[in-house]
């Protein structure tokens, strides 16, 4: 049964199956591209020339040369580089050149995670060794032993760390890093595209703090950023670093042939437009690839789905003892476990890996041949990142996109050019978020006193400092604001999430040997770690026996059941303030602050395979509060509509809207949320709310405020064009067996809402 | 209103400006004198003005026969004399009070650049006694003036602190670095940290090595109405915000006691290190003997340990016998070593008991050729290690393998 095949052989074989060809709605091939090579720069240090030659490199890719030229003329720049295009030379070469020319010169490398820094360190050290020069490079993170910290601080030419460590371990102690900050010539930001949303907004502030400290010590470092393909790399880099950048976007590295398949699961219930579960389709496709011995990565959107797929796939190997050729990979695994999986992928002992977007990043897992996306990852940039995992360098690669039943997924399968042809999303950050800004203003005040004439980055902050004085953490003297508190602000601020504390997951299957098997953020824990929830870890099922919400601990025990659990979240919403409003015909749109209370209510037990609901139970957890920005659209109660009818129509519209907002504002679909209310508390009118799912907002709903009309228009066109009869997951969500749902929605939109907006 | 709501209310206050600020080179201006300067002066603090601003000072003189707890300050000179007469070299040995400073700070926090030193307490020799100078930070803008007065930029000093190597001194370096454009460079100084010394001397004797604890148990001093150190930050912040120095003066008192105790602690430590056995516990003298051994002052070490074995019960002296055994072994005095270990064995526990058994087994096997005894010791050690939870699984099995090897060999030889 196991027979090794090439990708082309496999594709030819699939051509023979009409069933297969029916489901592949679209096929697209991107041809291979040769490399663009240019000679070494004349001034490249002879030791670096030697090092490159030892690696068999006698010329540079055009983008590497361009990078060198910008850096050495003192120009900050951002290089957009696909996976495996030799991006690290874009920064290693100028940095090493600077150190070799002047031994006091220093560079700081920032990677989004500790793991990436450690990865890059071995690569850099190899290059240094090949050059035969003595350049000291160190990682500095939580794992750095106290014994060598002193040495890193005083003598490290290149310090590799992550934003979190910079934030809480370096900047608040900058007097111990004088030789770094006085001589800092380059700051390297790798994987720039990951610095978006809330995390990116935090990092933008960490960098402003870093720049303040550099200025204090008299250095003015150049920024070198590398990014995966996004729409606005230059803008992102400039917002993040508050510095003007040049853009390098012309990739000189060779690219292998890539074949894209757009695969739509068959319709199994034509009336309701229900298609076969994408997960089951992915399982079957992955099995074919596994049998052809094609090394494959499968992306799934949630942790639960990863675990379900691992469970399904392990059926293939269950007769073999200790077979590790199929593995899961996601956040929540312990670092040591992740390192093992990465190694297994590189050396080929792991043949299939199922991952969340954790592996989109530049974690070094070597070359895989095929990639399966379970559903649209939510944005184009992520889709390309995932696709880039297959076929590094010149090899042929296969990318299979398997659509789910959701509106967005079906839209993509019907409009493949949206994915293949349009430019990827913008990565947005919003350093203006007041909560984030205030957090870092405290840290910055702790690090260096502000003068009464100072700005902080691009912000005028004197009035905010006044507030901090009232709060008792600053005192003002004639010219300066001084930190005067015994607290250490950086420790109270996490860059990664709104909720500070994670819930720790403790396995107590063996009472004498309880162990921590993972952790989860508070918001997710509401619906995934409530008592009686089935938590999946590496395909093993655990039941949550006790959730200690006070202590943030979930106690689990291994079980073997044929179902998983799915929880409902009830959401309450209050308008706090209205900052902007406008009339749209008869309707009214507004933007402002809202308060949201999320409460986990009940959970359902759902059987594997059939996905039947086989039971449910209540969840008793305190609500989570969220104060954020929101835009809302209110209109008069339509005449002759009962409240029930209006509720179901608005729920359908909200469902479709939620799917389409990411298309319009190019965000991740989980970043915004839509809530319909037939009678909003503040106005007593029917209202749609769109809010940012982060405290204080990250500028997303503000953009929706400007596009209400085209958004509603688009929703109407999509629902109208959907081939289902009564509404389906692709348009307004699965409906009960009533024939009214879809008609109601269309009726509501066409003869009421669009008219209202039009007047 | 919740914190989040308050912050979000302030959104309207936020303005942005993308034009780059031109950084002008500002002339060095003397900061203002704080408006509470008068009140602080009325409370007894003296205001000093230098080129960089103002700083407050509380100065106090102590005559030589001033007694702090059980010790007279003049005994410091006796201590120097003791060091002059001893043959042994020791890291806390000092022979005169020249350039000697007892130093202790109070700070507004525990770590990081945002933590200020607000009190520099310096106790020094002066005419007919000692003088305490407590410099108080007038406010953070007068920090340069405050640091400058500490005189740590002048000639080389010997600084005595309690935990100052990891706390007070690095804090001072941080403050200095921040103000280095205005200050002369910070000099290198010799540094004696008595926290480390106290741990060597009183390990297993005093439960917590806090200075107040050492005072009560070893220096005969008990504080009345002391402000605990952890309140110092809040008190200083309040003094600067409200202008009222009453509570701050209590922090100064706390710092004064710290410094006086530091001096008497030096005296007491010297007495213990230089004199013969007197009133302290066997544990303390054994600790000192062990310290001298680590300093390779073997004669002094042996002398002390021998005294412990002579003057205390076998039970109290078990530890001394144990360490003595190693020294005798090193000098190839195996018979004495065996006797020492045998003396110690009945009273040892845990790790030490196992080590002593193995040492005895070695001597019995290789020197006395008494395989039977050697085997008995080995078996006992094997049993103890098997039952022990002192080691992790891996290092335990390594140890067991070692002992098992010895046992096998001894069984063959027998």
The model's pLDDT over B177-205, given as tens digits with 9 standing for 90+, comes to 999 999 999 999 999 999 999 999 999 88
Same domain, B263 and B325: no
- What per-residue confidence (pLDDT) applies to B167? 94
Chain A residues near residue B109 by CB distance under 8 angstroms = 485-488
**Is B371 in the same domain as B402?**
yes
Q: Which one of B231, B252, B274 terminates a domain?
A: B274
Answer yes or no: do B270 and B412 share one domain: no
Same domain for B113 and B97, yes or no, is: yes
Same domain, B267 and B386: no
Can you tell me the mean pLDDT for A292-304? 86
Higher-confidence position of A527 and B342: B342
* Contact by Cβ (8 Å): B58, B138: no
- Rounded (5°) CA angle A323-A329-A334: 100
Asked if B241's CB is within 8 angstroms of A486's CB, the reply is: no
Buried b (16+ CB within 10 A) or exposed e, B63-90: eeeeebbebbbbbbeebbebbeebeeeb
Angstrom distance (rounded) from CA B192 to CA B187: 16
Q: Which residues contact A739 (CB under 8 A, 6 or more apart)?
A: A725, A726
Chain A residues with CB under 8 Å of B16 CB are 432, 458-460
- Which pLDDT score, from 0 to 100, does residue A742 have? 83
- pLDDT band per the 50, 70, 90 thresholds, residue A340: confident
Q: Residue B164: its pLDDT value, please?
A: 94
Asked if ipTM goes beyond 0.90, one says no
Give the CB-side neighbour count of residue A296, counting CA atoms within 13 A.
Answer: 28
Q: Is residue B12 part of a domain?
A: no
B46, part of any domain: yes
Which of B240, B274, B308 is the C-terminal boundary of a domain?
B274
Residue B216 lies in a domain: yes
Q: Is residue B1 part of a domain?
A: no
Q: How distant, in Å, are the alpha carbons of A86, A189, A226, A228 from that of A81?
A: 8, 13, 7, 6
Do B247 and B106 belong together in one domain? yes
Q: Which of B250, B274, B298 is the last residue of a domain?
A: B274
The CA angle A109-A115-A116, to the nearest 5 degrees, is 45
* Beta-bridge partners for A255: A33
**Is the Cβ–Cβ distance between A503 and A529 less than 8 Å?**
yes
Shortest alpha-carbon distance between residue A579 and chain B (Å): 10
pTM reported for the whole predicted model:
0.82
Q: Are residues B99 and B241 in the same domain?
A: yes
> Residue B91 sits in which domain range?
39-274
Whether residues B359 and B334 fall in one domain = no
B362 located within any domain: yes
Asked if residue A505 lies in contact with residue A518, where contact means CB atoms within 8 angstroms, the answer is: yes
- What is the average pLDDT across A200-209? 96
Closest CA to A296 of A377, A229, A365: A365
Q: Any CB–CB contact under 8 A between B181 and chain A?
A: no
B148 and B74 together in one domain: yes
How many domains is chain B built from?
Answer: 3
Residues B209 and B320 in one domain: no
For residue B410, is it within any domain?
yes
Q: Which of B54, B113, B242, B248 is the mutation pick for testing A, counting most A CBs within 10 A?
A: B113
The Cα–Cα gap between A166 and B410 comes to: 59
- The CATH code of the domain that includes B312 is 1.25.40
Task: Reply yes or no on whether the pLDDT at A322 is more than 80.
Answer: no
Nearest to A467 among B10, B16, B32 (CB): B10
Summarised one tens digit per residue, pLDDT across range A533-566 is: 988 776 678 999 999 988 888 999 988 888 888 8
Q: Output the pLDDT for position A276.
A: 85
Give the per-residue SS3 of A319-374. Answer: CCCCCCCEEEECECECHHHHHHHHHHHHHCCCCEEEECHHHHCCCCCCCECEEEEE
Task: Calculate the CA B315 to chain-centre distance.
Answer: 29
Which residues are A564's β-sheet partners?
A: A606
Taking all residues of chain A, what is their mean pLDDT, rounded to a whole number?
87
Residue position matching structure tokens 């059926």 = A315
Q: Considering the domain boundaries, does residue B138 fall inside one?
A: yes
* Number of CB pairs, chain A paired with chain B, less than 8 A apart: 125
Q: Which two structure tokens, joined as six digits, stand for A574?
A: 């209050």
Q: Please indicate, yes or no, if residue B96 is contained in any of the structural domains.
A: yes
Question: What pLDDT shows up at residue A499?
Answer: 47
By Cβ distance, the residue of B17, B23, B113 closest to A458 is: B17
What tens digit of pLDDT does each residue of B89-135 get? 889 999 888 899 999 999 999 899 999 999 999 999 998 999 999 99
Cα B339 vs. chain centroid, distance in angstroms? 36
* CA geometry: angle A265, A268, A269, nearest 5 deg: 130
Find, in chain B, the residue whose alpha carbon is nearest to that of A482.
B140
For chain A, say whether B18 makes contact (Cβ under 8 Å). yes
In angstroms, the CA B32 to CA B55 distance is 12
| B116 contacts in chain A (CB < 8 Å) | 482-484
Length reported for chain B: 414
pLDDT single digits (tens) B54-90: 999 999 999 999 999 999 999 999 999 999 988 878 8
Q: Are residues B133 and B88 in the same domain?
A: yes
pLDDT of residue A670: 65
Residue A147, exposed/middle/buried by CB under 10 A (0-12, 13-18, 19+)? exposed
Over residues B5-18, the mean pLDDT reads 75
* Chain A residues in contact with B11 (beta carbon < 8 A): 434, 579
Q: Which residues of chain B does A435 touch, with a Cβ-Cβ cutoff of 8 Å?
A: 4, 7-8
Condensed to tens digits (0 to 9), the pLDDT of residues A594-616 reads 988 888 888 988 877 666 788 88
Mean pLDDT confidence for A463-481: 92
pLDDT digits (tens, 9 = 90+) for A129-180: 999 999 999 999 888 888 899 999 999 999 999 999 999 999 999 999 999 9
User: Are B329 and B367 within one domain?
Assistant: no
CA atoms within 13 A on the CB side of B258: 29
């Amino acid at each position: 049964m196991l027979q090794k095949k090439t990708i082309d052989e496999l594709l030819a074989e699939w051509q023979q199956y009409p069933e297969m060809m029916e489901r592949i709605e679209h096929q697209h091939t991107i041809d291979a591209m040769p490399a663009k090579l240019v000679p070494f720069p004349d001034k490249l240090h002879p030791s670096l020339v030697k090092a490159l030659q030892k690696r068999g490199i006698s010329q540079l890719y055009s983008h590497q040369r361009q990078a060198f030229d910008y850096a050495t003329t003192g120009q900050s720049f951002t290089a957009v580089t696909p996976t495996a295009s030799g991006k690290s030379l874009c920064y290693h070469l100028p940095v090493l050149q600077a150190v070799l020319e002047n031994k006091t010169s220093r560079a700081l490398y920032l990677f989004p995670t500790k793991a990436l820094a450690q990865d890059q360190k071995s690569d850099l050290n190899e290059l240094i060794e090949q050059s035969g020069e003595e350049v000291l490079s160190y990682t500095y993170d939580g794992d750095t032993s106290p014994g060598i910290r002193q040495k890193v601080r005083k003598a490290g030419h290149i310090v590799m760390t992550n934003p979190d460590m910079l934030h809480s371990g370096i900047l608040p102690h900058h007097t111990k890093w004088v030789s770094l900050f006085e001589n800092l010539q380059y700051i390297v930001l790798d994987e720039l595209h990951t610095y978006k949303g809330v995390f990116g907004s935090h990092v933008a502030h960490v960098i402003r703090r870093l720049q303040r400290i550099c200025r204090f010590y008299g250095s003015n470092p150049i920024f070198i950023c590398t990014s995966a393909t996004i729409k606005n790399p230059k803008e992102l880099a400039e917002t993040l670093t508050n510095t003007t950048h040049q853009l390098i976007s012309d990739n000189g590295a060779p690219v292998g042939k890539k074949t894209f398949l757009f695969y739509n699961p068959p319709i199994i219930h034509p009336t309701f437009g229900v298609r076969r579960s994408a997960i089951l389709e992915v399982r079957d496709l992955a099995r074919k690839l596994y049998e052809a011995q094609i090394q494959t990565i499968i992306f799934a959107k949630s942790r639960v789905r990863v675990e379900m797929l691992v469970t399904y796939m392990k059926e293939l190997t269950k007769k073999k003892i200790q077979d590790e050729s199929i593995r899961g990979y996601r956040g929540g695994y312990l670092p040591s476990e992740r390192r093992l999986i990465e190694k297994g992928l590189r050396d080929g002992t792991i043949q299939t890996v199922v991952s969340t977007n954790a592996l989109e990043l530049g974690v070094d897992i070597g070359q895989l041949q095929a990639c399966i996306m379970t559903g649209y990852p939510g944005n184009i940039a992520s889709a390309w990142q995932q696709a880039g995992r297959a076929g590094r360098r010149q090899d042929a690669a296969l990318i299979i996109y398997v659509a789910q039943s959701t509106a967005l997924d079906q839209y993509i399968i019907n409009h493949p050019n949206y994915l293949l042809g349009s430019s990827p999303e913008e990565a947005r950050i919003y350093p203006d978020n007041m909560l984030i800004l205030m957090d870092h203003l405290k840290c910055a005040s702790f690090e260096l006193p502000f003068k009464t004439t100072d700005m902080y980055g691009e912000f005028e902050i004197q009035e905010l400092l006044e507030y901090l004085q009232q709060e008792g953490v600053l005192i003002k003297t004639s010219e300066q604001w001084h930190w005067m508190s015994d607290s250490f602000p950086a420790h109270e601020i996490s860059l990664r999430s709104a909720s500070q504390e994670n819930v720790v997951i403790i396995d107590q299957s063996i009472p004498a040997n309880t162990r921590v098997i993972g952790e989860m953020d508070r918001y997710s824990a509401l619906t995934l770690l409530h008592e009686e929830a089935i938590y999946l870890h590496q395909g093993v099922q655990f039941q949550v026996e006790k959730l200690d919400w006070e202590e943030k601990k979930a106690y689990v025990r291994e079980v073997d059941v044929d179902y998983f659990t799915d929880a409902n979240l009830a959401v309450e919403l209050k308008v706090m303030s209205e900052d902007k409003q406008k009339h749209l015909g008869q309707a009214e749109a507004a933007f402002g602050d809202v308060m949201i209370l999320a409460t986990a209510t009940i959970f359902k037990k759902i059987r594997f395979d059939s996905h039947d609901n086989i039971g449910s139970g209540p969840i008793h957890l305190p609500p989570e509060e969220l104060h954020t920005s929101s835009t809302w659209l209110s209109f008069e109660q339509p005449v002759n509509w009962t409240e029930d009818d209006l509720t179901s129509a608005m729920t359908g519209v909200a469902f479709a809207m939620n799917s389409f907002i990411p298309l319009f504002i190019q965000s991740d679909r989980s970043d915004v949320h839509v809530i319909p209310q037939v009678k909003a508390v503040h106005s007593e009118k029917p209202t749609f709310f769109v809010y940012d799912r982060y405290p204080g907002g990250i500028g997303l709903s503000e953009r929706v405020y400007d596009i209400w009309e085209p958004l509603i228009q688009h929703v109407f066109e999509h629902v109208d064009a959907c081939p289902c009869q009564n509404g389906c997951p692709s348009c307004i969500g699965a409906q009960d067996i009533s024939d009214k749902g879809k008609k109601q929605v269309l009726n509501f939109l066409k003869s009421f809402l669009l008219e209202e907006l039009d007047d | 209103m919740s914190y989040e709501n308050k912050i979000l209310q302030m959104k309207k206050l936020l303005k942005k400006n993308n034009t780059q600020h031109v950084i002008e080179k500002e002339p060095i201006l003397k900061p203002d004198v704080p408006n509470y300067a008068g009140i602080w002066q009325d409370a007894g603090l003296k205001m000093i003005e230098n080129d960089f601003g103002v700083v407050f000072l509380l100065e106090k003189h102590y005559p030589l026969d001033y007694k702090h707890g059980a010790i007279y300050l003049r005994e410091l000179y006796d201590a120097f004399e003791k060091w002059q007469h001893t043959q042994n070299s020791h890291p806390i040995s000092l022979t005169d009070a020249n350039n000697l400073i007892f130093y202790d700070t109070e700070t507004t926090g525990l770590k990081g650049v945002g933590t200020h030193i607000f009190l520099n307490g310096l106790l020094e020799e002066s005419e007919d006694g000692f003088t305490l100078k407590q410099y108080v930070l007038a406010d953070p803008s007068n920090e340069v003036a405050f640091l400058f007065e500490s005189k740590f930029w002048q000639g080389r000093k010997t600084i005595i602190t309690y935990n100052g190597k990891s706390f007070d001194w690095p804090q001072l370096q941080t403050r200095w670095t921040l103000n280095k454009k205005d200050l002369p460079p910070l000099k290198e100084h010799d540094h004696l940290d008595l926290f480390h010394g106290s741990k060597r001397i009183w390990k297993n004797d005093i439960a917590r090595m806090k200075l107040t604890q050492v005072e009560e148990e070893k220096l005969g001093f008990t504080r009345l109405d002391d402000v605990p150190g952890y309140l110092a930050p809040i008190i200083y912040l309040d003094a600067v915000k409200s202008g009222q120095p009453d509570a701050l003066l209590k922090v100064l008192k706390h710092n004064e006691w710290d410094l006086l105790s530091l001096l008497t602690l030096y005296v007491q430590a010297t007495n213990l290190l230089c004199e013969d056995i007197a009133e302290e516990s066997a544990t303390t003298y054994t600790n000192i003997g062990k310290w001298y051994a680590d300093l390779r002052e073997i004669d002094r070490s042996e002398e002390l340990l021998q005294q412990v074995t002579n003057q205390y019960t076998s039970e109290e002296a078990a530890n001394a016998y144990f360490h003595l055994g190693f020294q005798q072994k090193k000098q190839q005095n195996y018979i004495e070593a065996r006797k020492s270990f045998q003396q110690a064995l009945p009273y040892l526990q845990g790790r030490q008991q196992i080590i002593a058994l193995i040492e005895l087994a070695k001597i019995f096997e290789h020197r006395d050729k008494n395989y039977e005894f050697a085997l008995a010791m080995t078996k006992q050690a094997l049993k103890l290690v098997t039952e022990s939870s002192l080691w992790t699984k891996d290092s335990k099995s390594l140890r067991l393998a070692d002992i098992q090897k010895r046992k096998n060999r001894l069984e063959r030889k027998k």
